[in-house]
């Protein structure tokens, strides 16, 4: 095995490659002819093979070599994608994962590997025969060859460091990987760098190449071949298509127009495009619409081309640097300290004479602005799209559905929605719970669906979107919905509600109750409720909430609401007695003073105030948290109206201190188990202030 640094790099990269492979393989099952996915899978196996060889994982090298060979046949059209192949690929991925990442020895690993290799070999042999039988006239005369190709030429200069062998890297293998991406038109090894035979040190590297490669891949793919050597060696890749390609090139190769992509995909011709462009200039319609309108391509094909265009754009625009996420966390913590320091300086300015205080506050104002911008920048770095999290469920949905004999499609919407990486890391498990429930108990078997007039294949939709400073994630299934009567019955039996309860929301919310989900309820309650309390707890740990909507016979929607970030919030500092507390600004609707007449005590509801014709509960924080009381009469105090899940309450405070960025520090359960507290912060004067969790507070007062 290679040295530790190399192994670590390899394992990290492999994890990413395997994740991508899983997603693409599952996607391929529904898009069996998609050449782009097929090429990508081939490339992943190829990269995995190459890097495992470099890192000294010889068993993986040999195994992935077989997979690469299998997929090469798929790529060349010798083997057609089938359910068997998908199964083999996924089983192989599982075995590789076990070999690379399992902490303990995998039982029968060698046997499993041998069986998989046999299946791969069988598949190659059998399918080849089948293909021979299927070959039609058009294929035989090469009618399909070249369709969708877009050749480019790249000049690659690779000069390797003398000590590269000590890292276990063989530059020739890297160049071999590169050559497999296309056709090497010109290859020159600079022999001037190689010393005289008698003077050379064979353990030092003197190899360097200048290569012209003809390939259909983009520059990013070529860079992948140099993954492990790019940083320390002189690697230059230049697109020289203009110099080598005699074929007419439409505009810049770096950015493609929709029409060009459709031509490359073999969907429209050059003359079609010319005609469409003329029409576009006359009609002022979008080119995609005209193409669809004229019946030259289906909306799906145009969508695919648009996606491809977007991908190219993104690949060209993105210039990324890989950063250890711990460094980002540290950066955020340090920024937190700066925010606390600033608050402290604000505090100091209060004790200064007016002139000096003005000057300090003026300077701090500028600093505040920069800090805020700084925070936004760090936040944007920490924000990652949810698409990879969603995509990882494709495999899960496929496997779970197959094991239950159901046909279920996973639909993903809003994959570009970005969330704080901490939130993303913690949301995976709750989502899995919800998807499992939707598959296992929500969506009916095909025969049942057919009988109800539904499509035989069920759909689970994962949808993410931003709204009002929060991120919403919906898990929607088009299954049988939740049996409200059964939930109510169970709730009554468990003593969670009374027979009189009529609120649909309240009854449905029971599925999130701890202990509500026991195995005997699965049948009774259409299976809903299994582990849903875990979903709720996890969402709340992320300062989020969860709600459910369901219609019997039509489906269920479970919505998780999450904050954009977990690290810093905008908070309102309020005074209660001698204590300072923080109310998250996002939950604040308004701050009011009530008249004495608008204050009542209602039996069973406690203290209420009349706000715009509606009575809302009044909360005294000193009573709730056992603090020293300040103002005791509500009509003399200030009332902060807050909202959670559409429910409003009034919080009685003595005074408003101000508004500032709050760095959230978590507090342990032994300090408080109250759900009304989400954390604490350090104020400018060094005091600790508790942060009120409005959602938890509303829930807690409901239970009092």
Partner 1 sequence: MKVDKEVSVKNINSFYFALREEVENNNQVVLDFSDSVRIDSSAAQTILAAVRKVKDLDKTIRFVGVSPELLKLLKLAGIKIQ
- Any alpha helices (H) in 351-454, and if so which ranges? 354-382, 387-391, 393-403, 421-437, 446-451
Residue 189 in the binding site for partner 1 (CB under 8 A): yes
184 belongs to the binding site for partner 1 (CB under 8 A): yes
In the bound state with partner 1, the residue whose beta carbon lies nearer, of 176 and 505, is: 176
Alpha-carbon distance of 460 to 655, in angstroms, equals 49
Q: Is residue 205 part of the contact set for partner 1 (CB under 8 A)?
A: yes
Span from 1-9, 21-29, 91-99, 186-194 in contact with partner 1 (CB under 8 A): 186-194
Q: Which two tokens stand for residue 55?
A: 């890192």
Query: Is residue 536 within a helix (H) or strand (E), and if so which, with residue range?
Result: helix 532-541
CB of 196 to partner 1, least distance (A): 7
Residue placing its CB nearer to partner 1 in the complex, 161 or 675: 161
Residue choice 140, 141, 197, 247 for contact with partner 1 (CB under 8 A): 197
Number of DSSP helices (H) and strands (E) in the chain, helices first? 25, 22
How far, in Å, CA of 119 to CA of 70, rounded? 11
Closest approach of Cβ 192 to partner 1, in Å?
10
* Spatial separation of the C-alpha atoms in residues 366 and 371, rounded to whole Å: 9
Q: Which two tokens stand for residue 171?
A: 């530059």
* Interacting residue with partner 1 among 110, 202, 295, 405 (CB under 8 A): 202
Assess contact for 572 and 583: CB atoms under 8 A.
yes
Binding of partner 1 by 61 (CB under 8 A):
no
CB neighbours (10 Å) of residue 457? 14
The distance of closest approach from Cβ of residue 194 to partner 1 in the complex, given in angstroms and rounded to an integer, is: 5
**Rounded to the nearest whole angstrom, what is the least distance from the CB of residue 54 to partner 1 in the complex?**
11
Stretch that binds partner 1, among 181-189, 465-473, 474-482, 517-525 (CB under 8 A): 181-189
C-alpha–C-alpha distance, residues 182 and 213, integer Å: 6
How many alpha carbons lie under 13 Å from residue 57 in its C-beta half-sphere? 24
Task: Between 187 and 579, name the residue whose CB sits nearer to partner 1.
Answer: 187
Q: Does 200 bind partner 1 (CB under 8 A)?
A: yes
Contacts of residue 564, defined as CB under 8 A and 6 or more positions apart, other chains included, come to 379, 383, 419, 420, 423, 466, 469, 470, 471
108 is an interface residue for partner 1 by CB under 8 A: no
CB-nearer residue toward partner 1: 158 or 511: 158
Pairing of strands 606-611, 614-620: antiparallel
Q: Is 623 in the site for partner 1 (CB under 8 A)?
A: no
Binding flag, residue 253, partner 1 (CB under 8 A): no
- State the minimum distance, in angstroms, from the CB of residue 169 to partner 1: 9
Pick the closer one to partner 1 by CB: 163 or 310: 163
In the complex, least distance from residue 235 CB atom to partner 1, rounded to whole angstroms:
15
Closest CA to 322 of 9, 572, 703, 599: 9
Q: Exactly one of 5, 125, 195, 299 binds partner 1 (CB under 8 A); which one?
A: 195
Can residue 173 be called a binding residue for partner 1 (CB under 8 A)?
yes
- Does position 159 interact with partner 1 (CB under 8 A)? The reply is no
Q: Which residue in 190, 200, 185, 283 sits closest to 241, CA to CA?
A: 185
Decide if residue 187 touches partner 1 (CB under 8 A).
yes
Residues that bind partner 1 (CB under 8 A): 160, 165, 170-173, 175-176, 179, 184, 187-189, 191, 194-198, 200, 202-203, 205-207, 209
């Amino acid at each position: 095995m290679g040295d530790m640094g190399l192994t670590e790099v390899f394992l990290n990269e492999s994890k990413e490659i395997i994740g991508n492979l899983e997603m693409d393989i599952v996607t391929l099952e529904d898009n069996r002819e998609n050449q782009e996915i097929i090429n990508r899978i081939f490339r992943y196996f190829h990269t995995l093979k190459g890097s495992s060889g470099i890192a000294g994982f010889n068993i993986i090298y040999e195994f992935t070599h077989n997979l690469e060979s299998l997929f090469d046949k798929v790529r060349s059209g010798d083997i057609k994608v089938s359910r068997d192949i998908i199964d083999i690929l996924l089983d192989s991925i599982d075995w590789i994962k076990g070999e690379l990442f399992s902490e303990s020895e995998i039982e029968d690993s060698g046997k499993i590997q041998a069986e998989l290799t046999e299946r791969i070999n069988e598949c190659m042999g059998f399918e080849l025969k089948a293909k021979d039988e299927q070959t039609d006239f058009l294929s035989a005369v090469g009618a399909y060859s070249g369709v969708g190709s877009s050749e480019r030429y790249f000049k690659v200069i690779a000069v390797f460091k003398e000590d590269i062998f000590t890292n276990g890297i063989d530059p020739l293998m890297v160049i071999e990987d590169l050559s497999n991406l296309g056709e090497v038109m010109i290859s020159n090894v600079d022999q001037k760098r190689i010393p005289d035979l008698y003077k050379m040190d064979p353990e030092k590297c003197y190899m360097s190449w200048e290569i012209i490669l003809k390939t259909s891949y983009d520059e990013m793919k070529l860079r992948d071949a140099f993954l492990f050597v790019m940083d320390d060696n002189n690697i230059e890749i230049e697109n020289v298509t203009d110099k080598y390609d005699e074929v007419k090139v439409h505009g810049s190769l770096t950015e493609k127009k929709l029409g060009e992509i459709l031509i490359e995909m073999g969907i429209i011709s050059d003359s079609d495009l010319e005609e469409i462009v003329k029409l576009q200039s006359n009609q002022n319609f979008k080119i995609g619409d005209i193409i669809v309108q004229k019946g030259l391509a289906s909306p799906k094909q145009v969508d695919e081309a648009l996606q491809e265009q977007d991908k190219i754009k993104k690949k060209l625009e993105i210039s990324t640097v890989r950063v250890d996420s711990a460094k980002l966390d540290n950066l955020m913590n340090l920024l937190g300290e700066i925010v606390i320091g600033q608050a402290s300086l604000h505090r100091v300015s209060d004790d200064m004479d007016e002139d000096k205080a003005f000057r300090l506050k003026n300077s701090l104002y500028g600093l505040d602005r920069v800090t805020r911008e700084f925070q936004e920048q760090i936040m944007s770095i920490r924000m990652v799209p949810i698409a990879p999290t969603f995509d990882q469920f494709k495999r899960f949905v496929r496997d779970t559905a197959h094991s239950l004999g159901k046909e279920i499609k996973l639909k993903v919407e809003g994959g570009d929605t970005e969330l704080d990486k901490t939130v993303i890391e913690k949301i995976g498990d709750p989502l899995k719970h919800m998807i499992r429930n939707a598959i296992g108990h929500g969506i009916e078997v095909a025969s049942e669906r057919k009988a109800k007039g539904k499509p035989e294949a069920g759909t689970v939709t994962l949808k993410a979107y931003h709204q009002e400073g929060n991120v919403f994630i919906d898990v929607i299934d088009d299954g049988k919905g939740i049996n409200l009567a059964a939930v109510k019955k169970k709730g009554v039996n468990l003593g969670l509600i009374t027979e009189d309860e009529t609120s649909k929301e309240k009854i449905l919310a029971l599925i999130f109750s701890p202990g509500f989900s026991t195995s005997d309820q699965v049948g009774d309650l259409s299976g809903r409720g299994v582990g849903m309390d875990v979903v709720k707890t996890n969402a709340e740990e992320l300062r989020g909430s969860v709600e459910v909507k369901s219609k019997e016979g039509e489906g269920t929607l479970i919505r998780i609401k999450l904050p954009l970030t977990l690290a810093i919030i905008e908070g309102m500092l309020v005074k209660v007695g001698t204590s300072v507390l923080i109310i998250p600004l996002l939950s604040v609707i308004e701050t009011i003073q009530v008249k004495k007449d608008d204050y009542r005590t209602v039996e069973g509801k406690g203290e209420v105030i009349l706000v715009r014709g509606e009575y809302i509960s009044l909360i005294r924080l000193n009573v709730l948290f056992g603090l020293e009381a300040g103002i005791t009469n509500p009509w003399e105090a200030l009332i902060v109206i807050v909202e959670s899940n559409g429910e409003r309450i009034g919080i009685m405070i003595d005074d408003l201190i101000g508004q500032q960025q709050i760095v959230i520090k978590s507090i342990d359960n032994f300090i408080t188990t109250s759900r009304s507290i989400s954390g604490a912060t350090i104020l400018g004067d060094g005091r600790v202030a508790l942060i009120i969790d409005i959602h938890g507070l509303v829930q807690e007062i409901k239970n009092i």
